[in-house]
Chain A
Amino acid sequence: MTSYRLASAGSVNRGQPLTFTFDGKSYKGFEGDSLASALLANDQMLMGRSFKYHRPRGPVTAGSSEPNALMTIGSGARAEPNVRATVAELYDGLAAVSQNRWPSLAFDVGAVNGLLSPMLGAGFYYKTFMWPAALWEKLYEPVIRRAAGLGKLAMQADPDRYEKSWAHCDLLVIGSGPAGLMAALAAGRAGARVILADEGFRLGGSLLSESASVGGVSAADFASAMIEELEALPNVTLMPRATVFGWYDDMVFGAVERVQKHVGTPSPDLPMERLWRIAARRAILATGSEERPLVFGGNDKPGVMTASAMRTYANRYGVAAGGKVAIFTNGGSGYRTAADLVAAGVDVTAIIDARVQSADAVPGGVRVIRNGGVVGTKGRKRLEALIAERSGFQEQITCDALAMAGGWSPIVHLMCQRGAKPVWSDEAQAFLAPDVGSAFIAVGSAAGADTISTCLKEGATKAMMLARDLGFAAYEMNIPEVEGEYDPAFAPVWYVPGARDKAFVDFQNDVAVSDLGLAQREGFRHIEHTKRYTTAGMATDQGKLGNVATIGIVAGMRGVSPAEIGTTTFRPFYTPVSFGALAGTSRGEHAAPVRTSPLHDWAKKNGATFVEAGVWHRSAWFSREGEKGWRDSVDREVQNVRRNAGLCDVSTLGKIEIFGKGAAEFLNRIYCNNFLKLPVGKARYGLMLREDGMIFDDGTTSRFSEHHYVMTTTTAYAAEVMAHLEFASQTFWPDLDVRFVSVSDQWAQMSLAGPRARTIMSRVVEDDISDAAFPYLAAKTVTLRGGLKARLFRISFSGELAYELAVPAGYGEAVADAIMEAGRDEGICAYGVEALNVLRIEKGFITHSEIDGRTTPDDLGLGRMMALQKPDFIGKRMSTRFGLTAADRLQLVGLRPLEKLEEFSAGAHLLKEDATPSMANDQGWVSSTCHSPTLGHTIGLAMLRSGRERYGETIVVWDGLHGREVLAQVCPPVFVDPENRKLQG
């Protein structure tokens, strides 16, 4: 006897046959089949091997809680492991492969683990492999991991696209069964924006699986009619194949839509999966309930499945799970299953009812064993018989499939993801949804309702309530009549005593009742401990099937109510979500937005190599023919700037426009140095401190008119400085009239530096820029030859005579080209941020390598900038703290190697000669280093304890990372032109 396709039942499209393969063998199925239903139709009940014991397993569900029927679908880079065959939509050409078996699913060497099972109980690896410890990582763990497992990942890059999208609605309905459909329609008719999402590939939920008739038509046809009406409403969005997996802050729900998982040849224009973030004003949980398996000896044989799964296979897919079916039940679901199977012409050999009596209707000719239980099963790769027991009398009953109906658990996962715990109900013998407020409510069987008619009614009324709550006029709906309903009430049976084989609570992880007992005996009694010690509920199904039984059985073992045991913690995701979907388009070069300067193309055509600095791509150096490496280019650029001139892109600096009558006073409080009396037409270098007295950022600010300033910030802190200014203005000094706006993107800014800079600049600028007319630190709007307005600043970050010219971004490339052309006979070159860095280290100028959040102005030799006579500025108060004025603070110094050829790196630590490297002996560290082409050797800036008193001292530069020790001499941190003669030139 076998499982087989029924002659007529079900709603699969028998006119559309599909071909697919499983483990290389070709099969036929129909459109509308799941992979599992199609396999069952072909009598392939064996679908997987369990995690630990490699026991043969068949599907135990027909839905997303499936623990057994996991397989790998697709091949090559598209191979996806651990797909639940019960929810995988069949398509033509689908290729599935079984997992965790060798050499084949039918003959699996790993099954020997099952023979060793007395030694492989819960926690066995903690006990068995304790000694020697070194072997754990090298031997035990890899061996255990190989022996136990799931599918293997494809190691190639995923060829498919993924996307993320936002959606907004008044009401999100999660689940499209009877309650969800009615809820969506009620709110949809009222005019609310409704999203109806369902994890299934066909909307309708349990209506697709039930034999009752609703509103005079079959439940499935009723669902179709509802969906048709919903589709016609423009304010309703239907989302099949979309699993709502998480509930987040501010009523945002996460969902993953499988856009093309069911397509043989995916379109490159569509994503494979789409991640939705759904912002809902209200939400309805209509996720239904999960039928519990019963826990009896041998309950994991292929062919044993939940009664509702068996009904789904028969009523929805037209597949009989077996030719001779037995049913083990504690409630009405078993009887309904028997009736549906009998109606489909399947031989139902017996109903074993755990209860002494019941009012459920018994289909004609079916034997009922009341007050009975199943204590064992026969068969290896397929159920062959069961052993039923009644009052000590055991009887073997031949069957090839066994339906188990163990009662119902509302699916409340989403509602419990943000801290609320489900609430045990003695009446319902189930954990019910917690009260999480009026914005998110459960309806239908997710809320404990038991019949289709209650679900329909509750869906409609609660949705109308929410719609009215949002101000929509919702009108009463007709609740359709349901005929042929059954009463799914049940009497709890947590554990069937007398098991002759292992009785499993968690199928995938092979957790049996005996493991739960062991955990209690060994002190892992809290349910969270029991879970982790036994791994019950830790499989890919996350305990959807087994957790309630685990809790019930542990409660039984301890002689308390399940309420006292409680549940483990619910967290997103409801079902597994692929990393691809979570990453969306953020892969490879799209991992983060790219920011380019207006001079990017200019740099590119001048041979730039770019470096990523945050999101910016900055020109690092400009290679020329014959140069062997970056150092050659950088050395040449530096020497050329010192000798002739160079042009550097500094557009990435933050630029903030500041206006207002209070601007001068505002800047005076923002900077630690004086800004109140900065004359119009002048730039000034400024230091901003944090409240704690440490330097926050530096830069220049220029006064363009009485109440108009332009501030520059470092590239890295542009956004932070803007936020700092806004914060100070809005909260500290709202009385000051000052406004800001970022103009970082408006201007292309370039630095022209070197002794020939004035000659070159004067060929481009119409204004008089002689030293008299435009001295050091001058700043003003100028006119370029040809008429373009620009901003010119005489500021220098290289120690050379230098200008920064800012032009509207769109003209940046043209102006840079013009300067290069104007400077050609003066020997101009383009230089990048590497040369810029060398030039500034040679001059002892600081960057965020030195402004690292731990340094004060005095530490960096800028103590004189602190205008302490000012009434206040940010950082003033805390600057007088004892620790910040201590004499042994680290201070900025220069370092030169005693031997000219020796090199050292930033990050190295400083030690006194002959001191052993230790934290106690640490004298400081190196903040910046470079090869100085001007001096011909390595130079460095360093933070050294009481450094300014130690010029001339020899110190060890200790670099444990590179295993390098270099002797260096402490010197002032300015290596080139300490008198600033070139700057003023």
Chain B
Amino acid sequence: MSLTLFHRHVLEDYLSDFGTKANPNHLAVIRRPAIFSVLAHRGHDASVENELKSVEGIDVRDCAPGEWLVVSTSAGAAAIENLLADIAGASIVDQSDGRALLRVHGPNVRKILAKCVAVDLHPDSFPIGTSANMLCCHVAVNLARTGADTFEIAVPRSFCGSVFEEVMEMGREFALTAAFADS
């Protein structure tokens, strides 16, 4: 007997894909990102960070001293795992199912996120490429600036419905829409 197992996104029930036209302020849910925790062992913080920076096709997000979240929206988890496996002095953990990746974009994105996080997201203090763990709608997330008006939020799966609803509520005055990125 072979089982056919379907993968289900945590926001499946929250998003109707039909007839959703993206507004200028839009939240795209990445359906199957590859997300890995990378932990540097004693004395390897700098070398692991350097090696991570040299890996192509991944985004490296800061979590804590010697701890990163590696994100890829192009390659699958298995491919990323292979890329990371050889980094000396690091342990890696697949979190692809443990985090949902929300990409918020638009002219009012900072005003929306100011209602969700306490961190200053002005480009002078949080330029493109910056990322940090922070509370977003009471939940610990990793938030990264990936563009002038684009941020990506990695949300723990179990809190994702709650955070998603809250972000959408905060985006209401700016007509924020949401859909899966691939639809």
Contact = CB atoms under 8 A, between A and B. Distances in A.
A809 B7 CA distance: 9
A703 B163 CA distance: 34
B5 A743 contact: no
Contacts of B5: 784, 786, 788, 811, 814-815, 818
B95 A746 contact: yes
Contacts of A808: 7, 94, 96-97
Contact of A660 (B41, B162, B175): B41
B3 A598 contact: no
B173 A270 contact: yes
Contact of B158 (A585, A745, A788): A745
Contacts of B111: 165
Contacts, number: 145
Given A596-B158, A737-B41, A786-B2, A811 B122 contact: no
B66 to A, nearest CB: 7
Interface stretch (A490-498, A586-594, A920-928): A586-594
A601 B169 contact: no
Contacts of A788: 3, 5
A739 B158 contact: no
Contact of B7 (A708, A743, A747, A811): A811
Contact of A745 (B1, B8, B66, B157): B157
Given A279-B120, A660-B91, A593 B97 contact: no
Contacts of A262: none
Given A592-B138, A737-B41, A810-B9, A745 B156 contact: yes
Contact of A659 (B10, B41, B98): B41
B163 A593 contact: yes
A308 interface: no
A593 B8 contact: no
Contacts of B41: 659-661, 737, 739
A478 B153 CA distance: 47
Given A164-B115, A764-B3, A594 B98 contact: no
Interface in B112-146: 114-115, 117-120, 122, 124-125, 137-139
Contacts of A815: 3, 5
Interface in A945-981: none
B66 A786 contact: no
Interface string A238-269: 00000000000000000000000000000001
Contacts of A594: 159, 161-162
A667 B139 CA distance: 28
B53 interface: no
B99 interface: yes
B158 A597 contact: yes
Interface in B26-48: 37, 39-42
Given A810-B7, A814-B8, A741 B122 contact: no
Secondary structure at chain B's binding surface: helix, strand, loop or mixed?
loop
Interface residues of A, number: 53
Contacts of A744: 98, 156, 158
Interface in A69-125: none
Contacts of A616: 158
A43 interface: no
Interface string A771-811: 00000000000001110100000000000000000001111
B31 to A, nearest CB: 10
B98 A743 contact: yes
B118 A277 contact: yes
A808 B76 CA distance: 14
Contacts of A743: 37, 93, 95, 98
A439 interface: no
Contact of B161 (A596, A745, A763): A596
B6 A814 contact: yes
A319 B66 CA distance: 68
Interface string A160-192: 000111111000000000000000000000000
Interface in A732-750: 737, 739-741, 743-747
B166 interface: yes
B4 A786 contact: yes
Interface in A802-830: 808-815, 818
Interface of A is mostly: mixed
A711 to B, nearest CB: 13
Interface in A508-555: none
A741 B162 contact: no
B86 interface: no
Contact of A746 (B97, B118, B125): B97
Contacts of A708: 91
Interface string B50-66: 00000000000000001
A741 B67 contact: yes
A165 B115 contact: yes
Nearest to A659: B91
Nearest to B4: A786
Interface string A612-637: 00001000000000000000000000
A737 B91 CA distance: 12
Most B-side CB within 10 Å, residue of A746, A810, A811 = A810
Contact of A166 (B118, B124, B172, B173): B118
A46 B57 CA distance: 73
A788 B78 CA distance: 12
Interface string B77-101: 0000000000000010111111100
Given A598-B10, A659-B91, A163 B170 contact: yes
Contacts of A590: 165-166
Contact of B114 (A167, A269, A809, A818): A167
A659 B39 contact: yes
20 contacts: A164-B115, A166-B115, A166-B120, A168-B122, A193-B124, A270-B173, A585-B170, A593-B139, A594-B159, A594-B161, A595-B158, A660-B42, A746-B94, A747-B97, A810-B97, A811-B5, A811-B97, A813-B8, A814-B3, A814-B6
Given A279-B120, A810-B8, 11 more contacts: A163-B115, A165-B115, A271-B173, A596-B158, A598-B10, A651-B158, A746-B93, A786-B3, A786-B4, A811-B6, A813-B8
Interface of A: 163-168, 193, 269-271, 277, 279, 585, 590, 592-598, 601, 616, 651, 657, 659-661, 708, 737, 739-741, 743-747, 763-764, 784-786, 788, 808-815, 818
